[in-house]
Structure 1
C-alpha cells in the first residue's frame, strides 16, 4: 500500500542533501541486496542512499542552484524554502531488491509531485534502506510556482495529497489504504445507524449541499462560496479560524454545526486552500492563454511584415520598366539637345562668315560715297 507524509523544509539545500544521501548507503544495505540476488556488479556501483532519481522542471545536476535562483527571482525570502513529501510502498506492491522497481517507484514519485504542485520544481529521490527495506520516495518541492511565483502551502493539505496518492495507486493497480476517505467525513454512531436504515441524515444533506457548491465553477473564492450556499438555504458563519453552517433541514428543523464536525473537507482552511488552488490554476491557465495570444500576435505581425515586403517588391518591379523608359527618353532628349547645340554652333559660324563677307563687299561702296 502507498502512504504519504508531508513536512516543510526551512533549507531546501539540506532537504536535497538528505534525500540524495551522497555516499551514505550503508554496507548492511549492500549486503542485503547481494543476499537478495541483486547483481554484485550493480551493487558495487551503489554509493548513495538514492538508488533512483527523477524530477519535474529541474536539471538534477544543478538542482540546488536552480531552485535557489527561482526563489530569488520571485523574492521567496520566507522561512520555508521547500516542502517534503515521503511516499512509501509496501512489499506487496514493489520488491526493493528489483532494480526495475526502483525506476518504477521513482516515476510514481515524479507523477505525484506533478499532481500535488503543478508548475513547481520537483526533485525525487528513491531509497530502499530503513526498516523492512521498503521502497520510498523523498519528493522535494521548491516553494515558488514557476508561473505565478506564489508559494505552495502544505498546511492542512494532507487529505488532498493522500487522495491524489490513492488515485495514483489505483491507476497503477496498487493497493490502497481506506482510512483517508474516512478522515474526510465524520459520522457519529447514531448517524451510521440511521444511514444504514436508509433514513434521512441531515448532516449528509448539508454535506451534499456544500459539495455541490464546491463543484460549481462559479465558486471562485470564499465570498462566492458563502453566497452560493445561501442560494441553497445554508448560512455560513465565519468564526475566524473555522466556520459553522446553519440551515433548515428536510424535516423543517433548524440545524447548526461547526465545520470540523462534518469532516476535514468542510473546515474553513481546507475550503479556502482548495479555492486558492483553483485560483492559482485559473491564473496559470490565463497566463498560458496570454502566452498563446502573444504567439498568435507575433505570427500575425510576421505575416504582415512579409506581406508589406512582398508589396514593396512588387511595386519596385512595376517601377523598373517605367524607370528604364524614362532613362531612354532622357538619353534621346540629351542626344537631341546635343544635336541642336551643335547645329546652333554651326549656324553661328555661318552667320559670322556671312557678316564678314557683307562687310568686305560694302567697303568699296562706302569709300566711293565718301568721295
Structure 2
C-alpha cells in the first residue's frame, strides 16, 4: 500500500537541500542527480521561464508491512517503483528522487521541475489534476508489483493531519477545526440554499471560500491559512456542499408551488354545478337579446315572428330614440336663438374695431402733414432771407 502527496514550491534548491541530507538512495529522471540543482536552474534560464513556481514537492510512502526501511533490498525495490511511477506520470519533466528511512514507513521524496522539456512551458492548469494522475498511476503500478492498493475510507467525513492530531491531543484547537465548525454552522441554517448565500454567511464568520476546479478552497480572512475541502473531509468537499444546496432549492420550489397554486376548478363553491349551469344559460340568452337590439330596428315581418318580450323591448327602444331626437332638436333651436344676439353684438364690435384701426392708421399721416407744415418758413421769413417776392 502506497500513499502519495504533491504540492507547489517556489524554491527547487531548498527542496533538494532538505531531501539530499537524509537520503540513503537517490536517482533522477532527465537529469544528473548529483547536479540536480544546477540543471533545474539551467533549464529555467534556457526557456526564460523564471516564474514563481520552480518545482513541485512530491512524496510516495510505503507501508511498513510491505517494505522494511532497514532492508537494503526493500529500499532499492521501493526506489525503482517510485521511479517507474514518476516516469509514467511526468515523462517530460526533470525529477530528482531521494529515499528516506527516518520514519516507520519507507518513503521517497521527489522534486519535480515545473518546466516541460518539450514545450518549454510550465505545468499549467489545475495542479490538483496532476496529483490525481499521480495517485492513479501509483495504484496501477503497485498493483502490478503485487502490492496492496490504498483504499480511501468513504465514511471518513473529516481528515486530520499528524500535526492536527498532536495538537488535538494537547487540547489545542486548530485553524482547520475553526473552518469546519463555521461550515457546519452555515450548513445548519436551512435558509442557505445557494452558493452565494453560503459564501456570504461564511464571510460573516471571517472565512472566505471559492471554487477552484473540482474543489472548494477555504481561507481564514486576514491570514495565510487556507486549505481545500478535500483536506477537511467529505462533508466539506464541493460535491457534498453543492448536492445539499441543490436539494434545498428543489424542496423550496416544490413547497412554493404547493402553496401558490389556486383551486380554479370551482368558480363559486357555494353554488352547485346545476345552479351555475342554469345561471350561465340565462346570461347567454340576455347577451343574445342585447346584441340583436343593438344591431338596429327590425322589420314588421320579423317583429311578428319574435316573442312578445322582444317586440315590446323593441318598441320601447324606438320610443327612446325618438324622444332623444326631439330633445336634440329642441336644444339646437334654443341654442340658435341664444346665439343670434351674441353674433349681432360680435359683428358690431368687429365694425367698431375696424373703424378704430382706420382712424389709428390715418392719425400718423395727419401728424406728419402738420409737422411738415409747421416746419415750412413763413412769408415774412422768406422775404427776410430771399427778398420780397414778386
Same fold, TM exceeding 0.5?
A: no
Q: Give the TM-score category using the shorter length.
A: 0.3 to 0.5
If you compute each CA radius of gyration, which structure gives the higher value, 1 or 2? 2
TM-score by length of 2: 0.39
Larger RCO of the pair (alpha carbons < 8 Å, separation 6+): 1
